[in-house]
Amino acid sequence: MQEPHTNAQLDLSDRRLINRLQHGLTVSERPYAEVAAALGMGEDEVLARLRGLLDAGILTRFGPLYNADRMGGAFTLAAMAVPESAFDYVADIVNASPEVAHNYRREHRLNMWFVLASEDPERIDEVIRNIEQSTGLQVHDFPKCEEFYVGLYLEA
């Protein structure tokens, strides 16, 4: 499925706003007025454009981006080598766990990569064992040892 919209539809003000909003805002009483002043727009124009970009799905979110792992959660990145013939079947089993937050197919012998998140570190090991038992496949687990950067900036 090719999504229909690309940045061709965005005007210059939208692009400047998207780029500015990807950088962090400070906490202040009138945050949109501060953005507006920096971009030479009106506060209400910023709000209207932001609402439009969210409604159109060009932005998926605007607001505080929480770092789950500072809130006491446990995470890991896991990968499996899934035979083609069983791929959808295994994807259904993996996706059925609420602890699986994201799951991507990637082009590699290890062709299924998913993130597991839970409040309870032991729960992650349980889910991995359950997936191994249900599928008969080994789950490789790559917990983070050191975080260097998290944040997406894409120039609109």
Partner 1 sequence: MRRAADTTVRAELSLDAVDRRIVKATEAGLPLCREPYREIAGRLGISSEEVMRRMCDMLAAGVIRRIAAVPNHFRLGFHANGMSVWDVSDTRVSELGARVGALGYVSHCYRRPRRLPAWPYNLFAMVHGRDRTEVLEKVARIADLLGGAKRGHEVLFSSRILKKTGMRLSREVTLGTRQPVLTVAGDR
Question: How many other β-carbons are positioned within 10 Å of the β-carbon of residue 111?
Answer: 17
Q: Residue 11 or residue 149: which is nearer to partner 1 going by CB?
A: 149
What lies within 8 Å, CB to CB, of 43 at 6+ separation is: 30, 32, 33, 36
The smaller minimum CB distance to partner 1, of residues 6 and 85, is found at: 6
Contact between 153 and 112 under an 8 Å Cβ cutoff? The reply is: no
* Nearest CB to partner 1, comparing residues 65 and 86: 65
Letters for 43-72 (x = contact with partner 1 by CB under 8 A, - = none) are x---x--xx-xx-xxxxxxxxxxxxxxxxx
93 is a site residue for partner 1 (CB under 8 A): no
Shortest Å distance, C-beta 135 to partner 1: 14
- Print burial letters for 73-96: b (CB count within 10 Å at least 16), e (below 16): ebbbebbbebeeeeeeebbebbee
Enumerate residues 4-23 that contact partner 1 by CB under 8 A.
5-8, 18, 21-23
From CA 151, how far away is CA 123, in angstroms rounded?
27
**Smallest separation, CB 114 to partner 1 (Å):** 7
Q: Does 85 sit near partner 1 (CB under 8 A)?
A: no
The one among 91, 130, 135, 137 contacting partner 1 by CB under 8 A: 91
